[in-house]
């Protein structure tokens, strides 16, 4: 059902609207017949569509075309990468442990195919940045490790020092996986500069279809053991008949996202105006990760005494869609493990709201939010208005 014209969508980190170009390409492809593994003309046409999309995704992350494997989304990409069993130069290579950031997405926090006994958590500082000093000690304290860190946090937008982490991991002889799901279209992705062995992408975060994504490796000589077995699709790295329509949609969205990643100024100006307006009404507001590098599209903040759960309902009634600091699979607001790892008090974390912008966000969206925000404050905790920081 299409959204009403006065509806304002401010939840791109949860899922961006499908780009018109991606939708058009997918509808076109759905009229095709043929399995991409078939040698006849219909099969070859399907194969050509997949390979065109592979090239577009490779361009988004400065990767080699054959390094892109299409999967069902970010969770599967992470699950595939997080395994002790890799192939390095064609020979089996086994990693002894997984070192993962304390603020990772649940699909990484679950540890993938590493048993719990082989997992260690890397703490973060008050701004949500990986403690590099502790990571260095952890890398020196055991056998070869897979280090998994997100490029940018889904809740706060805080950007990790990936080049520094990658250099440390390489020096220690480990492998480096980056969850780049929130990075695509919002910052430059450069696997070589990061020294990342693998990155994960999810199409619906940058305007592609839901239920589709990619695992991209820096070198096809160093790859994780397949998660999906049973066929030779995706260069033997992911079995199963390819979803040609969805993959075609990823390609179109990736091409658009690559261009947008070069121009952060527009979204940064919108975010900064929103934060200034929030702070004007509630000077005591906490903006999480404010002192760290952040994605231009993301703002996570908490106003004292304004419950996120109640605020979300109030915004929804005014036809604004945003998010709390964290949402569990049931859709209910929970205490954010990200904000907890950053040292936020529980009472503050329960007030966290996240606004995330994207390819179709406008000044009018921010205008509408700033029109409704004072109403929400006055309804839920008028004492927070103009309270000194």
- The CA distance from 175 to 164, in Å, is 14
Confidence band for 360, pLDDT divided at 50, 70 and 90? very high
The DSSP call for residue 199 is E
- Which one of the listed residues 61, 282, 328, 351 is annotated catalytic? 328
Give per-residue pLDDT as tens, 206-262. 999 999 999 999 999 999 999 999 999 999 999 999 999 999 999 999 999 998 887
Helices 265-281 and 363-380, axial angle in degrees (round to 10): 20
Mean of the pLDDT values across residues 356-374?
97
Q: Exposure pattern of 273-296 as b/e (b: 16+ CB <10 Å)?
A: ebbebbeebbeebbebbeebebbb
Q: Is 27 in a helix, a strand, or coil?
A: helix
**What pLDDT is stored for residue 150 in this prediction?**
98
Confidence at residue 262, expressed as pLDDT on a 0 to 100 scale: 78
Tens digits of residue pLDDT in 133-163: 999 999 998 899 999 999 999 999 999 999 9
| CB 357 within 8 Å of CB 12 | yes
184 in Cβ contact with 154 (< 8 Å): no
Average pLDDT of the residues in 120-133: 98
Q: Taking the domain 20-260, which CATH number applies?
A: 3.40.640.10
Residues 310-336 have pLDDT tens digits of 999 999 999 999 999 655 444 556 789
* Listed residue (204, 188, 197, 112) closest to 151, CA to CA: 188
Q: What CATH number was assigned to the domain covering residues 8-17+264-384?
A: 3.90.1150.10
pLDDT at 331: 55
pLDDT above 60 for 350: yes
Contact 223, 235 (CB under 8 A): no
* Distance, CA of 236 to CA of 240 (rounded, Å): 10
CA atoms of 152 and 337, how far apart (whole Å): 15
Map out the domains of the chain as residue ranges.
Answer: 8-17+264-384, 20-260
User: For position 333, what pLDDT does the model report?
Assistant: 61
CB 3 within 8 A of CB 233: no
The answer on pLDDT for 13 being more than 80 is yes
Q: Helix, strand, or coil here: 32?
A: coil
Which residues, in sequence order, are CB contacts of 290 under 8 Å at separation 6+?
A: 127
328 catalytically annotated? yes
User: What's the whole-model pTM score?
Assistant: 0.94
């Amino acid at each position: 059902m299409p959204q009403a014209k006065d509806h304002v969508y401010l939840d791109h980190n949860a899922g961006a609207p499908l780009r018109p170009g991606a939708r058009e390409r997918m509808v076109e492809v759905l009229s095709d017949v043929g399995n991409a593994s078939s040698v006849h003309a219909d099969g070859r046409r399907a194969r050509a569509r997949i390979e065109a999309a592979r090239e577009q995704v490779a361009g988004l992350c400065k990767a080699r075309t054959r390094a892109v494997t299409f999967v069902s989304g970010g969770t599967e990409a992470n699950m595939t990468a997080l395994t002790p069993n890799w192939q390095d130069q064609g020979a089996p290579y086994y990693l002894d442990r997984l070192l993962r950031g304390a603020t990772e997405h649940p699909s990484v926090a679950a540890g993938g195919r590493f048993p719990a006994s082989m997992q260690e958590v890397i703490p973060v500082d008050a701004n949500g940045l990986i403690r590099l000093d502790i990571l260095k000690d952890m890398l020196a304290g055991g056998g070869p490790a897979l280090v998994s860190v997100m490029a940018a946090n889904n809740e706060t937008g805080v950007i990790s020092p990936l080049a520094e982490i990658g250099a440390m991991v390489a020096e220690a002889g480990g492998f480096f996986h980056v969850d780049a799901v929130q990075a695509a279209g919002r910052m430059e992705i450069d696997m070589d500069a990061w020294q990342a062995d693998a990155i994960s992408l999810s199409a619906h975060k940058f305007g592609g279809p839901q239920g589709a994504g990619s695992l991209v490796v820096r070198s096809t000589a160093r790859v994780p053991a397949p998660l999906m077995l049973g066929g030779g699709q995706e260069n033997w790295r992911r079995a199963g008949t390819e979803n040609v329509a969805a993959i075609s949609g990823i390609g179109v969205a990736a091409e658009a996202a690559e261009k947008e990643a070069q121009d952060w100024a527009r979204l940064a100006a919108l975010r900064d105006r929103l934060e200034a307006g929030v702070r004007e009404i509630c000077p005591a507001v906490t903006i999480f990760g404010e002192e760290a590098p952040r994605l231009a599209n993301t703002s996570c903040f908490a106003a004292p005494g304004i419950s996120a759960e109640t605020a979300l309902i109030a915004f929804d009634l005014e036809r604004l869609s945003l998010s709390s600091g964290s949402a569990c699979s049931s859709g209910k607001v929970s205490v954010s493990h990200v904000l907890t790892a950053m040292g936020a008090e529980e009472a503050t974390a329960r007030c966290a709201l996240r606004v995330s912008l994207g390819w179709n966000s406008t000044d009018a969206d921010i205008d509408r939010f700033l029109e409704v925000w004072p109403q929400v404050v006055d309804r839920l905790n008028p004492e927070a208005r103009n309270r000194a920081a």
